[in-house]
Amino acid sequence: MRRYAQSLIAFLVAMGAYMAGALETLELGLLETRFSVLDRPATSDLVAVQIDARSIQELGEWPLSRSKYALVVQTLVDAGVREIAIDVDMSARSDPEGTALLAAALEAAGGHVLLPAFIQKAGAGPDGTALMDTRPEDSLLPHAWLASVNVVPDADGRLRRLIFGMDTPDGDFPYSMFALLAERARPSAAPFYVDFGIDVRSIPRVSFADVLYGRFDAAAVRGKKVIIGGTAVELGDHFSVPRYGVMSGPMVQAMGFETLRQGREIHRTGPMAVILMLGVILVLSQIMPQRWGWRQQSLMALGAAGTLLVFSVAVQELVCISVDVVPGITLIIVCFGMQMSLFADAQQKAAAHQKRVAARQRILLDRVVADSFDGIAILDADGQIEKANDRTFELCGADGADRPGHVDALLGILTISRDRPAGGWHLLPAGEAALAQCDTANGVRHVELTVSRSEVPLTQLSIDGGAGTRTVYGLTVRDVTDRVVAARATEAAREEAERANRAKTDFLANMSHELRTPLNAVIGFAELMESEALGPLGNDDYREYAGDIHTSGRHLLSIVNDILDITRSEMGDLALNENETCLNELAEAAISACRRAPEQEGREIIADFDHALPEVLADPGRIQRCIEGLLSNALKFSDGEKKVIVRTGTESDGSLFVEVEDFGTGISRQMLSSILMPFQQVASSRNRTSSGTGLGLTIVSAFMAAHDGKVDIESEEGEGTRMRLVLPAERSLAPAPNRMDAAACD
């Protein structure tokens, strides 16, 4: 008997809440959720021509002149559009010339244009509630159809339903614009729910400005229907809708069109269906075994609620009916709640058991804290020490019999690296570590102090009758002596390494300068002897020796100059002689220089230049040297039968590049990470005897860094290498607006 009484009470609660409208918000929420689940594309029979923010900005006016609408209508008609709907207020009497042009365009459209009509309040004051029928200017009506664009949001301001039309104060019934477009007009104002499961993003859209200036694909609108309207936020014609949040008026009309065109207008079930559903649930609840525990009943309730939700999704998908399932779910919840009251005693026993478990856990935690290697203390809101393990006092140097009772007295023994907060050490910023030290018999001990803040529930009720809390602070003291000593040693080693590196750099710079003077003399005298400028040497071997001296001196001077450039780069003293220059010309000069080298005679070097490349602001000598470095490297590490390609071009971000690609031995993955470091060379069985100091790519990288550029390297061992010099877009000299052809550096 008790079970039947519970079921009757549950039925009355669920049905009463439904009839009182208390469940309406939840029901609408489920309806909107199903829209997200039942996603479907638009038919693509309708194209939206949007007066978007870009159109308004480009056209520079609002409202738009009617001549522009006339031109858009004519353009769409010429493109083969079947029907055009304009969701823009045309009631104002202005711009006679533009109105005449629009009227002519409507006449040329042959009656295939819909103009908006809407009902609005007449104004403020005593007659503010009176309604007036707002229609387009009379001269536009003979060659167009009137269509209502009125919509009626729900009480919560959300637009979920549309109507087929609305009676005017004059007794007319203009059909809604979306209904006329969909050819589904009905002489009834009965609303239906729009299927917002249709993906509004799949409705084709074109910008009004693009149509106006002919910047659109006519094939995209040919044979279709078009709705023109304002979608820009600043126009204010927006509504709150399910799933999408906010939607413009024209897109609401488009969603109404798609709903009718796909036959997806949705209607909800009424009270009779709800009563039938509640009756079925009550019958099923009566045949559920009473011996089931709360877990089985919970699963049963969840299963029943889930079944209702799945059923509602299936019905909405198949027959476009929204089943009101919240009353059924409410009945299930109420029945389940009543059944749970039968398990109160079991829950009380479980709670008592949990208290015993919690007590054991507290004992366990106290033991762990007491044995911790870190100092752990609990402080009250005033900084008094309520509880602390022995390690806390030991690390703070107060492990004698007289232990401080306040955190300020405890930490006052230490030398702390920061100032004491005004209210006491317990008010240190939570989570921020403070370093401290104290003198011990074994030397200086370094500790780390950290404070945490917690709100702990009181065991008794507070004075005002509510459950109170109190603030406690946790102090953690950790011995970090080893870490501090190691950090100081690391810092000292780092400073020593930096001093050694600076000394090395200064030494290389000084030695490079000192070596260049005698080398210049050696090279000069060798040139005099080789050319016999002061008289014959008398022996051909001497002349050959002089040539060798000259060649070797030049090579040695090149190495010294490379080392000097590296040291200047490290010292930040690498000056640039910047001029307007052309990367194509520099690349061509580099190719010519490499072709003149005796060891490269006959090598195939292909130039693939972008002849529209703009000039750049750069140091021509250093950039050419960079290109020669990459080209020399490519020729050195590729077979004589394989070609080398030199490219120039522009990246999508405006940066300019010179690229050298070879099809030689390539670079291993291990070497790629260090190839730009000084004195690094590609090592392989084929090229390990190749000459060079390993400074070439390092200098290239330094020169590019001085230009705010970079060197990109892509390589696969055995496949070849692609090296690219990239100059930032800021170094590109933009061409004049009317001299594009003259701006190319070729």
Confidence of residue 70 (pLDDT cuts 50, 70, 90): very high
Predicted confidence band of residue 73 (pLDDT cuts 50, 70, 90): very high
Given pLDDT bands bounded at 50, 70 and 90, which one contains residue 743?
very low
Q: What is the mean pLDDT of residues 166-178?
A: 86
> Over the stretch 608-618, which tens digit does the pLDDT of each residue have?
999 889 999 99
Lowest mean pLDDT among 82-91, 269-278, 475-484, 500-509: 500-509
Pick the CATH number of 372-459+467-479 from 2.60.120.260, 3.30.450.20, 3.40.50.970, 3.40.190.290: 3.30.450.20
Q: For 127-149, what is the mean pLDDT?
A: 81
* CA atoms of 505 and 516, how far apart (whole Å): 17
Least confident of 476-490, 523-537, 562-576: 562-576
Predicted pLDDT of residue 462: 47
Residues listed for the chain: 746
Q: Where are the CATH 3.30.565.10 domain residues in the chain? A: 579-743
Q: Are strands 192-193 and 161-162 parallel, antiparallel or unpaired?
A: antiparallel
Mean pLDDT of 709-728: 88
Query: Tens digits of per-residue pLDDT, 206-223?
Result: 999 999 999 999 999 999
- Helical pair 96-108 and 66-78, crossing angle rounded to 10 deg: 20
Q: What is the pLDDT of residue 690?
A: 47
* Per-residue pLDDT at 394 exceeds 50: yes
The pLDDT of residue 129: 58
Q: How far apart are CA 34 and CA 310, in angstroms?
A: 10
pLDDT averaged over every residue in the chain: 81
Range(s) of the chain covered by CATH 3.30.450.20: 372-459+467-479
Backbone angles phi, psi at 207, to 5 degrees: -75, 140
pLDDT exceeds cutoff 90 at 43: yes
Average of pLDDT values for 34-41? Answer: 92
Q: What is the mean pLDDT of residues 51-63?
A: 90
At residue 461, the pLDDT reads 46
From 178-182, 670-674, 698-702, the region with the lowest mean pLDDT: 670-674
Percentage of the chain exceeding pLDDT 70: 80
What value does the mean pLDDT take over residues 500-509?
A: 60
Which superfamily does CATH assign the domain made up of 579-743 to?
A: Histidine kinase-like ATPase, C-terminal domain (3.30.565.10)
Do the Cβ atoms of 114 and 226 come closer than 8 Å?
Answer: no
Highest mean pLDDT among 121-130, 173-182, 456-465: 173-182
Going by C-alpha positions, the residue among 721, 700, 726 that lies closest to residue 583 is: 726
pTM of full prediction above 0.95: no
pLDDT tens per residue, range 445-455: 888 888 888 88
pLDDT value for 427: 85
Instruction: Report residue 395's pLDDT band, with 50, 70 and 90 as the boundaries.
Output: confident
Task: State residue 405's pLDDT score.
Answer: 83
Q: What is the pLDDT of residue 254?
A: 95
Give 298 or 321, the one with higher predicted confidence.
321
Into which CATH architecture does domain 487-570 fall?
Orthogonal Bundle (1.10)
Pairing of strands 225-230, 46-51: parallel
Q: Which of 73-87, 500-514, 723-737 shows the lowest mean pLDDT across its residues?
A: 500-514
Residue ranges of alpha helices (H) inside 571-675 are 583-596, 620-636, 669-672
Average pLDDT of the segment spanning 701-727: 86
- Tell me the average pLDDT across 702-714: 85
Residues of the chain with pLDDT > 90, as a percent, come to 30
Higher-confidence residue of 346 and 399: namely 399
Residue 177 has pLDDT above 60, yes or no: yes
Whole-angstrom distance, CA of residue 170 vs CA of residue 506: 97
pLDDT in tens, 91-125: 877 788 989 999 999 999 998 999 999 887 665 55
Residue 517 has pLDDT above 80, yes or no: no
Instruction: Judge contact between 235 and 57, C-beta under 8 A.
Output: no
The region of weakest confidence among 214-218, 310-314, 568-572, 655-659 is: 568-572
Where in the sequence of the chain do the CATH 1.10.287.130 domains occur? 487-570
Please tell me the predicted confidence (pLDDT) of residue 741: 45
Return d(Cα 134, Cα 69) in angstroms, integer.
Answer: 19
Mean local confidence (pLDDT), 320-342: 84
Residue 616 neighbours by CB distance under 10 Å:
25
Q: What is the pLDDT of residue 694?
A: 54
pLDDT higher than 80, residue 90: yes
* pLDDT category of residue 742 using cuts at 50, 70 and 90: very low
Structure tokens of 196? Answer: 């917002």
Q: What mean pLDDT do residues 561-574 have?
A: 63
CB 231 within 8 A of CB 250: yes
Task: Report whether 317 contacts 262 (CB < 8 A).
Answer: no
Give the containing element (helix H, strand E) for 439.
strand 434-440
Which of 56-65, 292-301, 535-544 has the highest mean predicted lDDT (pLDDT)? 56-65
Task: Tell me the average pLDDT across 30-55.
Answer: 93
Residue 192: burial class (beta carbons within 10 Å; 0-12, 13-18, 19+)? buried
C-alpha separations of 54 from 59, 200, 210, 484 in Å: 8, 20, 10, 61
**Residue 622 backbone zone (phi > 0: left; psi -120 to 50: alpha; other: beta):** alpha
Q: Which of 45-59, 61-75, 355-369, 521-535 has the lowest mean pLDDT?
A: 521-535
pLDDT score, position 474 = 85
Amino acid symbol at 75: T
Please tell me whether the peptide bond between 63 and the residue prior to it is cis, using omega within 30 degrees of 0.
Answer: yes
Residue 524: count other Cβ atoms within 10 Å of its Cβ: 12
